[in-house]
A and B are shown apart, each in its own frame.
Chain A
Amino acid sequence: MTVLELQRIGHSFFGRKVLDAISLSVGAGEIVALVGPSGSGKSTIAHIAAGVVDAREGRVVRRYHRHTMVFQDPRLMPWATARDNIGFPLRLAGVRRGGRDGAIRAAALRAGLLPEDLDKYPSELSGGMRQRTAIARALVTDPDFIYFDEPFTALDVALKRRMQDLVIKAAASAHFAALFITHDLSEAIRISHRILVLDANGRGIAGARILPGAPGSRDDAAVFALRQRFLTEDPLFARIHDIDERLRP
């Protein structure tokens, strides 16, 4: 069963076409990684799928109950403490203040935040802690679909691994599906069931590769070998490390 389906999505900003004929689908409990060079339109796809941006063309079909998103920048409310930021989706869902605390603590713990960080304002948190707050906020309502837009870029290597494991485990146990945008091919290989490569100019999905085995079952050696094979032998991945499609002659 597919829980998210994009049908021939097209979009332009101020008359400049950035996306055209994007079709993709995500199955229940599936983690789909979306890779592509910077500026190719990955964030825009996530925003359209999550309903932040209305696409000019095409259709979005959502069959999940509740989605959340980890944005590329943390997007925390500067006037609220980490606790209130994490609890914001609960507040919107109508959970009373007293009833939020348990869920907030649990989500913060899963995202690697200490209880003493919860009373700090975003300006008092480090960049990585802010991103972890945003991750906790996405987990707190137990969604069945999560959009991740390069969520771990600001984290150090150890924490990044921990967060990747968290996503793999949480997806398996809580059965959420996810669209996981990243520019890091190793991360995509570790975390996902399937990798989609976006065309460098946003003109459709260039191709897909289904990964062997379940996410989390691939050890470092396997991830590395797969990554080497993709980058050296697979023409699909030839251009994903391009800087920006507009800089090319």
Chain B
Amino acid sequence: MRPVSSALDRLSRFGRFLWSGWAGLAGLALIAALWQAGHEAYGDFILPAPLDTLIAGWRLLHDGSAVELLALTTRRALAGFALCAVIGTAAGVAAGYSPATLRLSRPVLTVLMGVPPIAWIVLAMIWFGASDRTVAMTILVSTTPVVFIGAVEGVTTRDRGIEDMARVFGAGPIRRFTHVAARQISTQLFPALILALGSSFKVAIMAELLANAGGIGGALARARAMLDIAEAMAWVGLAVAALIVVEYVLIRPLRSELERWRDAAAPWGVKR
């Protein structure tokens, strides 16, 4: 009986997910309408019509080369993101558990966050040239602080009472971490990871553009040089689409699986 009900539960969550897709579509339609209005006011050169952009995007996708460039940028962004997720989480959890480390890392973090990403790109270009590693390093230094802070928050704001409970019921330090603390940390960590994923994409494209390292950023640079506004807009749209696909295929399902209880705790109006 339980597998059936849990399958039903999953199905209903999927239904709600689709339903929220309608709301998303309505939002997109609103953007398109404003865009069209802008196009009609300022003309083709400043703002090409959304339909033209769509067609340009379609054409790019069908050339075949666009898919390759998208894949390259996505791969770079995901590689940088994975690196920052692993390093940021590990360092953040370690710092959360060790107050001395945390105090030590605060000023380091302030400095890291204070340096503009553009400066990192310049440095990385000097060190690594126009390569994957430039992109990866730029993503790493500019997004790790967010993940780090999320992990630290997760550790320091967790409810220790539940860990004491686990201890009474016979859990040693390792199982207290894996069964209790990790779950609590993840609730703070997930929003930070989603944020980091988004900025990974943005930073990847920016680094590609400035370092002339190919990918979507490189294509954008070319479109700009050729004053092909529709194509530039199309690239932007494709990049956003790639990010949305990754977020909704990878992150959201994982999160909703882990955080079913939040759904249960949400007031009715927020749920739908």
Q: How far is the CB of A1 from chain B (nearest CB, A)?
A: 23
**B169 & A68 in contact (Cβ 8 Å cutoff):** yes
Number of interface residues of B (CB under 8 A): 22
**A92 & B261 in contact (Cβ 8 Å cutoff):** no
Q: For window 86-118 of chain A, which residues contact chain B by CB distance below 8 Å?
A: 88-89, 91-93
Q: Given A80-B261, A121-B261, A123-B261, A51 and B161 touching (CB < 8 A)?
A: no
Q: Given A79-B259, A80-B261, A69 and B183 touching (CB < 8 A)?
A: no
Determine the distance from Cα of A120 to Cα of B265 in the docked complex, in whole angstroms: 10
**B168 & A68 in contact (Cβ 8 Å cutoff):** yes
User: Does residue A52 face the partner (Cβ distance < 8 Å to B)?
Assistant: yes
Closest residue on chain B to residue A101 by CB atoms: B2
Determine the distance from Cα of A75 to Cα of B161 in the docked complex, in whole angstroms: 6
Q: Given A80-B261, A123-B261, A124-B264, A92 and B169 touching (CB < 8 A)?
A: yes
**A89 & B164 in contact (Cβ 8 Å cutoff):** no
**B175 & A69 in contact (Cβ 8 Å cutoff):** no
Residues of chain A lying within 8 A (CB to CB) of residue B259: 79
Q: Given A67-B168, A88-B169, A92-B166, A79 and B161 touching (CB < 8 A)?
A: no
Determine the distance from Cα of A51 to Cα of B170 in the docked complex, in whole angstroms: 10
- Mark contacts of B164-202 with chain A using CB atoms, 8 A cut-off: 1 yes-contact digit, 0 otherwise: 111111110001000110010001000000000000000
Closest residue on chain A to residue B183 by CB atoms: A79
Q: Given A47-B164, A73-B161, A79-B183, A89 and B169 touching (CB < 8 A)?
A: yes
Closest residue on chain A to residue B164 by CB atoms: A52
**A52 & B167 in contact (Cβ 8 Å cutoff):** yes
User: Does residue B5 face the partner (Cβ distance < 8 Å to A)?
Assistant: yes
Determine the distance from Cα of A178 to Cα of B165 in the docked complex, in whole angstroms: 17
**A77 & B161 in contact (Cβ 8 Å cutoff):** no
**A71 & B265 in contact (Cβ 8 Å cutoff):** no
**B265 & A121 in contact (Cβ 8 Å cutoff):** yes
8 contacts between A and B (CB under 8 A): A50-B168, A69-B165, A76-B162, A80-B261, A92-B169, A92-B170, A120-B264, A124-B265
Lowest 10 A-B CB distances belong to which pairs?
A123-B265, A121-B264, A75-B165, A89-B169, A79-B261, A52-B164, A121-B261, A69-B168, A75-B161, A50-B168
A77-B180, A88-B166 are known contacts; what are 18 more A-B pairs with Cβ within 8 Å?
A: A52-B167, A68-B168, A69-B168, A71-B164, A71-B165, A75-B161, A75-B164, A77-B162, A79-B187, A79-B260, A79-B261, A80-B261, A88-B179, A89-B170, A92-B175, A120-B264, A121-B264, A121-B265
